[in-house]
Amino acid sequence: MRSASSASLRSGLAIAALGVLGCGGADPGGMTGEAGRWGFAGTGGSRGGGRGGAGGSAVAGSGGQAGTTGGAGTGGAGAAPTCGKEDCGTDCTIPALPAFSALTANDKLPDPFMTIAGTRIASRSEWQCRRAEISAQIQNYEAGQKNPKDPGAVTATVSGKTLTVNVLGKSFTVSITLPRGDGPFPAIIGLDGMSIPVSGSLDSLGVAQINFDTNKMGNQSGSRGTGFFYDVNGDKSVGALMAWAWGVSRVIDALEVTPDAKIDPKRIGITGCSRNGKGALAVGAYDERFKLVIPQESGSGGSGNWRVSQWMLSQGQSTQTLSEITGENVWFRSNFSQFGNSVNKLPFDHHALEGLVAPRALLVIENNILWLGPQSSWSGANAARGVWQALAVTDRMGYSLTTEHGHCSFPSSQQAEVTAYVQKFLVGGGTANTNIMRNDPGVQYNASQWVNWTVPTLQ
């Protein structure tokens, strides 16, 4: 048994000029980062990339040694280095956000490239602070604050398959299943277990699995504000999805200081299905240390967009809407219900939530079940894809919707897509196509109905 501690930099809204500091990868094997560019590790290894240049992330290394723990190889796509923190936008200035009564209506999916100040970003280096604005908006109006208190120094111990995480004077546990070998291993955290196949996607690729109990962190079946998150943070207005996101971030903190767990904290993915798919998207969106995010059948409140779901209902299609979902459960912050009849007043939609993952890897797995809002999620995916397009990394965003099947019963037709993403963005060395946008022919996306902005060419 081994114990260690680390004080990480946390989310916050510090005052600074609009722009980002360099945030290159810390692992060996790369050259110095090019200013203002997003860099990506090569296919020869999983942890390459050099020091970040001024205003940008590291470019890929040019001579690393191949292998799952080697330096970066030449070209290709691997694990995208970021600043290595939970939130890389803590130096960004966030303008004051208006009250609900001061918000203006917009029937279109809001422009993810338009700043709160009313100017469009023009460079890749500006995306980090625009991302911080979107994150602040969603926390303020929909999800609740992720870090009501500074978690401080997280400590941890590992015994057998159990990792005990100590934070703010209390502890919770997660279970870890390791593949064969010595590690450290890449890992996927499953909210309440894995819904994607373990044998086809994880075990055979040497990926560890971590099981996270959502209800113990933020109970979703009882009264609002119960569970570990609320016990230590106290803010009961925060939605359960954000409580889970906070808890999973503390797991990464723990893995960073507990090498005996045999998990590589720089190669972590997140997944979940249905309500846990909503949670997986939230977890991956709000922690930039995740290299791969796979929300499965998350529907409205996940990959679905509130505006499109509301329109679907107006057309006689029985799908979940904002007003229904806030009456059903405590997944979102306590006053989110005020948007129930005014979804067009939201200054964001879930295409922007998906965009928070960029330039990291996102694979959205959906099922053509009407209640899940397939047209809503497909429309949102097409709009969200513009962020990866602007950053010139469209191979890092995928969407797969298949013909209706049992909810959360993973179909074999999506196996190759999941394997490709896990191989390329967690394990390293994958060469399969990940530039995937697949849906049932009957599910339509009307771009002119939902988007009145263009995708910029960011410099």
**pLDDT range class, residue 229, cuts 50, 70, 90:** very high
Measured in whole angstroms, the distance separating CA 345 from the mean position of its chain's CA atoms is 24
Q: What are phi and psi of 3, to 5 degrees?
A: -125, 145
**CA contacts within 13 A on the Cβ side of 369:** 17
Active-site residue (options: 62, 334, 342, 407): 407
Give the residue-averaged pLDDT of 25-46. Answer: 32
Q: Is residue 165 part of a domain?
A: yes
Residue 200 confidence (pLDDT): 63
- Report if residue 368 sits inside a domain: yes
CB under 8 Å to 119, separation ≥6 — which residues? none
> What pLDDT was estimated at residue 223?
82
Q: Decide if pLDDT at 430 tops 80.
A: yes
Catalytic residue, from 274, 298, 309, 377: name it.
274
Digit-coded pLDDT (tens) for 5-22: 444 334 333 333 333 333
Q: CA geometry: angle at 95 spanning 133 and 356, to 5°?
A: 0
Within a domain: 238? yes
Whether 115 is covered by a domain: the verdict is no
Cβ within 8 Å of residue 218, ≥6 positions away:
226, 227, 228, 229, 230, 238, 239, 240, 241, 242, 243, 244, 247
Instruction: Name 263's bridge partners.
Output: 185
Domain that holds residue 215: 153-450
- Given a contact cutoff of 8 angstroms between Cβ atoms, the answer to whether 349 and 306 are in contact is yes
Q: Quick check: 334 pLDDT over 60? A: yes
For residue 272, tell me if it sits in a domain.
Answer: yes
- pLDDT, one tens digit per residue, over 353-396 is 999 999 999 999 999 999 999 999 999 999 999 999 999 999 99
Q: Is residue 82 part of a domain?
A: no
- Top pLDDT among 168 and 49 is at 168
Tell me, yes or no, whether 247 lies in a domain: yes
The phi and psi torsions of 125 (rounded to 5 degrees) equal -65, -25
Asked, for residue 164, whether it belongs to a domain, the answer is yes
What confidence category does residue 441 fall into, taking pLDDT thresholds of 50, 70 and 90? Answer: confident
* CATH code of the domain covering residue 317: 3.40.50.1820
As a whole number, the mean pLDDT across the chain is: 85
Per the structure, the count of domains in the chain is: 1
- Encoded tokens for 168: 């703010």
Percent of the chain with pLDDT over 90: 78
Annotation says 274 is catalytic: yes
pLDDT in tens, 42-81: 333 333 333 333 333 333 333 333 333 333 332 333 333 4
Q: With CA atoms as reference, report the closest residue to 301 among 317, 325, 284, 318.
A: 325
Q: One-letter amino acid identity for 190?
A: G
* Paired sense of beta strands 170-177 and 208-212, if any: antiparallel
Could you tell me the two tokens for 36? 């203002």
* % of residues, the chain, pLDDT over 70: 82
